[in-house]
Amino acid sequence: MNKLVAIGITSALLAACASAPQRSDSIDQARTQIQTLSADPLAHQAAASDLQSAQARLQDAEAAQAQKRPPAEVDHFAYLALRHAEAGEARVEAAHAQAEVARAQDQRTNIVLAARASEADNAKAQLAQTQQELADLKAKQTDRGMVVTLGDVLFDTGQATLKPGADLTLDHLAHYMRDNPHTRILVEGFTDSVGSDAYNDALSQRRADAVAGALVRRGLPEDAVRAVGRGKSFPVATNDTSAGRQQNRRVEIVFSDAGGRFAQSNDSDIIRR
């Protein structure tokens, strides 16, 4: 009896082994490749058709194996499944590369935009600083450009030696010019009508030279500063009163634009009024 039972069990095991599908390396390889492809998030966008074809051919291979069809047929379907999966992998790799290029381009664009925004902010800050410095100097916009007027308190009467009280104003001027290195200035000296034309022309020139020299000593390039004596020409007030003559005794600083150009000029000098 025991012998019959053993024979029965052995027969059942042999039958089970005979009915179980045989292992196929080609199917295993294709299945692994398909699983790898399917796990990539981009596969369902960039390689959806390849993935579907690979899965369909794998099913054909598994069905052929289950039906005990010839191994060559099983391997053929598995080969097709593998090729579709590999094609899908190539598309996914290309999609990743394109995405990386797009990210790099986005980063570059963001960097450029940030740089432009920073430049714009710096330009605004520089403009605000320039405007504040001009306001501190009490500059006025005229048809000749921005003009700063320095009264006769800078000099003793009839003299061209700068008084110590001029230092603060000249320091402000020099600071402004250092912040605006492309700007040039024209230093113009003026007198009242007391005295001869020759006397006033010489005095106004010496005063303009004194201011220009003081600015050069504060670091301004010599070619950025020009001094001109105007004498008693172009009064801004009457010379019939003491107060009017005091207004006429002055030094004016005319600023060029950022490109070094003055508002009005001819071959020899700035056109006045």
- Does residue 214 lie in a domain region? yes
The CATH number given to whatever domain includes residue 144 is 3.30.1330.60
Question: Backbone phi, then psi, for 224, in 5-degree steps?
Answer: -95, -5
Question: Of 89, 114, 131, which closes a domain?
Answer: 131
Residues 171 and 95 in one domain: no
Residues 123 and 213 in one domain: no
pLDDT digits (tens, 9 = 90+) for 223-261: 999 999 999 999 999 999 999 998 999 999 999 998 899
Contact 76, 30 (CB under 8 A): no
Residues 127 and 165 in one domain: no
Residues 107 and 173 in one domain: no
Question: Of 112, 131, 150, which closes a domain?
Answer: 131
pLDDT of residue 265: 53
- Does residue 217 lie in a domain region? yes
Residues 103 and 26 in one domain: yes
Residues 176 and 247 in one domain: yes
Name the pLDDT band for 129 (thresholds 50, 70, 90). Answer: confident
Name the pLDDT band for 264 (thresholds 50, 70, 90). Answer: low
CB count within 10 Å of CB 6 equals 10
- Does residue 159 lie in a domain region? yes
- Does residue 250 lie in a domain region? yes
Residues 101 and 142 in one domain: no
- Does residue 90 lie in a domain region? yes
pLDDT of residue 273: 38
Q: Which of 7-11, 63-67, 205-209, 230-234 has the lowest mean pLDDT?
A: 7-11
pLDDT of residue 263: 84
pLDDT of residue 122: 87
> What is the domain count for the chain?
2
- Does residue 15 lie in a domain region? no
pLDDT of residue 5: 45
Residues 151 and 242 in one domain: yes
Residues 242 and 178 in one domain: yes
Residues 50 and 144 in one domain: no
Q: Which of 157-166, 195-204, 205-214, 229-238 has the lowest mean pLDDT?
A: 157-166
Question: Of 100, 131, 162, which closes a domain?
Answer: 131
Distances (CA, A) of 57 to 45, 70, 72, 84: 20, 16, 14, 9
Name the pLDDT band for 15 (thresholds 50, 70, 90). Answer: very low
- pLDDT of 199 > 70? The answer is yes
Q: Which domain holds residue 84?
A: 22-131
Q: Measured between alpha carbons, how far is 251 from 129 in angstroms, rounded to an integer? A: 24
- Does residue 9 lie in a domain region? no
pLDDT digits (tens, 9 = 90+) for 68-126: 999 999 999 999 999 999 999 999 999 999 999 999 999 999 999 999 999 888 878 87
- Does residue 16 lie in a domain region? no
Name the pLDDT band for 7 (thresholds 50, 70, 90). Answer: low
pLDDT of residue 269: 52
Residues 144 and 117 in one domain: no
Please choose, from the candidates 249, 181, 173, the residue with its C-alpha nearest in 3D space to the C-alpha of residue 213.
173
Residues 27 and 119 in one domain: yes
**Mean pLDDT (the chain, rounded):** 87
- pLDDT of 8 > 60? The answer is no
